[in-house]
Amino acid sequence: MKKLVVATGNPGKLREIQEYLTDLVVELHLKPDSLEIEETGTTFVENACIKASQVAKALGEWAIADDSGLEVEALNGAPGIYSARYARSDRERIDRLLEELGDSTNRQARFVCAIAIARPDGAIAASVEGICPGEILYTPCGTSGFGYDPIFYVPEEKQTFAQMKPEIKRKISHRGKAFEKLIPQLLRIGDW
């Protein structure tokens, strides 16, 4: 059975990534905490490739990485690739975003997720991107999920990511859209 290292230190992401991979015949391993990768790219895809490639090379195993974030229209796309670096905790990141947005009536936003898979030598075998449009609420709502979920409202579902059943978020989210593209590519690449 092929080993695949999940190159993330974010437990919320890890939970979701594991769910998408349950049907593959693959042995999932965790990236050791001591192996930290600097995100020096300027796009989500670049950062996902950097993380997957460096972790794969360091461990000599296949690796999968996710780089994701929230782009807010009225903030010219911020926090974007800096979503994790926006403040120290999920609560502080949400507070900062709501403060920066103030009472702006343009609440349009989108979550973006790039996923990359690297071979044991670090070469990228596949990379994809998924997008989920939505709106930023004025106050947080809901307790499921992680990160910015409580302020991200999806009009089609009439609820935030943090109010959704996990199986709904799993299907419609930026990560869900990315995995929808990734799985067929993965199946073509190797015997998972």
Which amino acid belongs to residue 177?
Answer: K
185, two tokens: 């590519």
Which of these segments, 17-25, 52-60, 96-104, 142-150, binds ligand ITT (CB under 6 A)?
142-150
Which of these segments, 9-17, 120-128, 133-141, 176-184, binds ligand ITT (CB under 6 A)?
9-17
In this structure, the number of other CB atoms found within 10 A of the CB of residue 42 comes to: 10
Note if 33 is an active site residue: no
Residue 110 has phi, psi (to 5 degrees) of: -150, 145
Q: Which of residues 17-46 bind ligand ITT (CB under 6 A)?
A: 39
- Tokens 């989108």 belong to 110
Which of these segments, 6-14, 99-107, 117-125, 179-187, binds ligand ITT (CB under 6 A)?
6-14
Which residue, among 63, 68, 69, 173, has the nearest Cα to 116 in the 3D structure? Answer: 63
- 66 has which bridge partners? 115
> Using CA atoms, how far apart are residues 68 and 168, in angstroms rounded to an integer?
19
Q: Which is nearer to ligand ITT, 129 or 149 (CB)?
A: 149
Question: Is residue 145 close enough to count as binding ligand ITT by CB under 6 A?
Answer: yes
Among 61, 67, 71, 129, binds ligand ITT (CB under 6 A): 67
* List of residues contacting ligand ITT (CB under 6 A): 8-10, 13, 39, 66-69, 83-84, 93, 145-149, 161, 173, 175
